Amino acid sequence: MKNTFVKKGLVGLVSTALVAAFAVATPSAAQAADLTCTKASTKVETCTGTDANGAKFEIRMPSNFNGTLYVYSHGIRNNVNLPAIPVIAPAGELINYAPEVAPTEIVATALLKQGYALSGSGVSTQGWSLEEGVDGALQVLQAAKDKYSKVSKVVAWGNSL
């Protein structure tokens, strides 16, 4: 009985220490560069910018915004150009630094029509760049909140990272 109490206390202490360490060790999101916004249609405003790491990001805000912002993580990308492989990838694949706000434009359009805002960040270093991916997501989130004060809910989603 006594041993269980000690284990529970130790788990609580270690958990608290880890939370405190990460809260102190996690840097606050650096200020992103000025946004450039365009309204190609009367229904969606698109803002682009570059974060403190040099990665590009994008925010799409529908005119019928419902208060929820989706922050998309595109996942791991190749850090070298891939050659063409017949049938599988006939054109090959080039390094892609572009931000993505959804897995496809069909998904993006459907969410925007329902009033959801979309955002996403690229990364300046391709490959396994988990730290930059998380930091980029925080920076695009802060840029969206600074520009659009009506953001009340945030949904993090994506392929990975």
User: Does 126 fall in a domain?
Assistant: yes
Q: What is the chain's pLDDT, residue by residue, as a tens digit (161 residues)?
A: 555 544 444 444 444 443 344 433 444 444 555 889 999 777 999 999 999 988 899 999 999 999 999 999 887 777 777 788 888 888 887 777 788 999 999 999 999 999 999 999 988 777 677 788 889 899 999 999 999 999 999 999 998 75
pLDDT tens digits for range 27-74: 444 455 588 999 977 799 999 999 998 889 999 999 999 999 999 988
Whole-number Cα distances in Å, 97 to 17, 31, 113? 37, 20, 27
CA distance 1 to 127: 49
- The number of domains in the chain is 1
Indicate whether 63 belongs to any domain.
yes
The residue range of the domain holding 115 is: 30-158
Helix (H) or strand (E) holding 159: none
How far apart, in whole angstroms, are the C-alpha atoms of residue 48 and residue 118?
12
Q: Is residue 4 part of a domain?
A: no
Q: Can you give the pTM of this predicted structure?
A: 0.71
6 found inside a domain: no
Is 78 contained in some domain? yes
Does a structural domain hold residue 149?
yes
